[in-house]
C-alpha cells in the first residue's frame, strides 16, 4: 500500500475515517458515535473536541495503517518503525534484507533521475525524502 505522510492531524483524522471499511458511517458506528458527531470531531466544529489518539488508533487498527504515528514522528523529524511482533529466523532476516535493498535502490534511482538535469529541485527533493523516510521506516517491517 502506497501512502504519504500526512501533514496535519486533521488530515490524519479525515483519512482514517474515509478509508475505514464502509466509510464514515461505519467509522462512526465503530466508535459508537453518530455520523454528525464524528464529522464535528474531524473538523472540530460545533465546539466538539477532535478525535482522541485512541479513537484514531481504533480506526487505523481496522485498516492496518499507521498515519497517526507517521505524522507524529514526522513532526519530530523522525520516522515510525514498527517492531516485529514475533521471533524472526534467518530466512525472514534475509527476506527483510532483500526488501530493504530494493527500497534503497528506489531511493538511489530517484536521486539519479533528479540529477539528470544537473540539479535537484524542491519537488524532487521532497519526493526523494518521502521515499527515503518510507524506506527507513519499513526496514524492519514485513
Write the pLDDT tens digit of every residue in 6-61. 889 999 999 999 999 999 999 999 999 999 999 999 999 988 999 999 999 999 99
What would the pLDDT profile of 79-137 be if each residue is shown by its tens digit? 887 777 777 788 887 887 888 888 889 899 999 999 998 889 999 998 898 888 777 76
Confidence (pLDDT) at 3: 58
Q: Across the chain, how many H-helices and E-strands are there?
A: 7, 0
**Measured torsion, CA atoms of residues 25, 31, 36, 37, in degrees rounded to the nearest 10:** -170
How far is residue 71's CA from residue 38's CA, in Å, rounded to a whole number?
20
Amino acid at each position: 500500500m502506497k501512502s504519504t505522510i500526512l501533514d496535519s492531524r486533521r488530515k490524519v483524522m479525515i483519512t482514517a475515517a474515509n478509508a475505514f471499511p464502509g466509510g464514515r458511517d461505519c467509522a462512526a458506528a465503530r466508535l459508537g458515535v453518530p455520523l454528525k458527531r464524528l464529522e464535528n470531531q474531524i473538523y472540530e466544529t460545533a465546539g466538539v473536541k477532535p478525535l482522541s489518539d485512541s479513537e484514531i488508533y481504533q480506526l487505523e487498527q481496522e485498516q492496518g495503517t499507521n498515519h497517526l504515528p507517521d505524522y507524529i514522528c514526522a513532526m519530530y523529524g523522525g520516522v515510525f518503525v514498527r517492531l516485529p511482533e514475533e521471533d524472526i529466523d534467518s530466512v525472514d532476516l534475509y527476506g527483510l534484507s532483500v526488501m530493504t535493498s530494493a527500497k534503497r535502490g528506489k531511493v538511489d534511482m530517484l536521486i539519479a533521475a533528479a540529477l539528470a538535469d544537473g540539479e535537484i529541485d524542491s519537488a524532487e527533493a521532497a519526493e526523494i525524502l518521502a521515499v527515503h523516510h518510507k524506506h527507513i521506516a519499513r526496514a524492519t517491517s514485513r
